[in-house]
Amino acid sequence: MADLIAIGYPDEKTAEEAAKEVERLSEELIIEPEAIAVIKRDQKGKYHVTTTHDIVATGTVWGMFWGVLFGILFLIPLIGLAIGAGLGALTGLITEKTIGRDFVKEVRDLLQPGTSALFMVVDKITTDKALAALKKYGGTVLKTSLPGEMEQQLRAAIESAPAAT
């Protein structure tokens, strides 16, 4: 079962720095993230999202995943996402009820104007080594498990994603 981990930071820059550290840790197999996203909320309250994915061909599906998730978490409109069966399936899978109302509320409270957060979908993690490496960034950690059915359907969507051109 994969976990969705969010780490909130009191400024707009730290999440990007921590994301670079997670990418380094993934090379050492300390953290095995499926996908990583950084979301910053500027002083005016506007959200800015940057995502990375392991495999380029699956970027569309992960992009839809993050778009739907952030739409639920932060009420960000889903403008710019491809509308279709894939998005409909992901929207049905990722609901406030599925990921937990408490998690949604905690994440919303975490990301106030002038802050940032690192989001990861993680399959495997060597917790003690990851914590030691990420400790220098501080932050508030929130974690929820993705339900098995949701993870399986997300994997199926990723595997059937057309190759990127």
Each residue's pLDDT tens digit, 29-74: 999 888 899 999 999 999 998 887 554 444 556 666 777 777 777 7
The answer to whether 119 and 4 have CB atoms below 8 angstroms apart is yes
Q: How far apart are CA 130 and CA 124, in angstroms?
A: 11
The answer to whether 112 and 41 have CB atoms below 8 angstroms apart is yes
Position with higher pLDDT, 160 vs 125: 125
Each residue's pLDDT tens digit, 82-124: 444 454 555 555 665 567 778 888 999 999 999 999 999 888 8
**pTM higher than 0.85 for the full model?**
no
Domain boundaries, the chain: 3-31+63-159
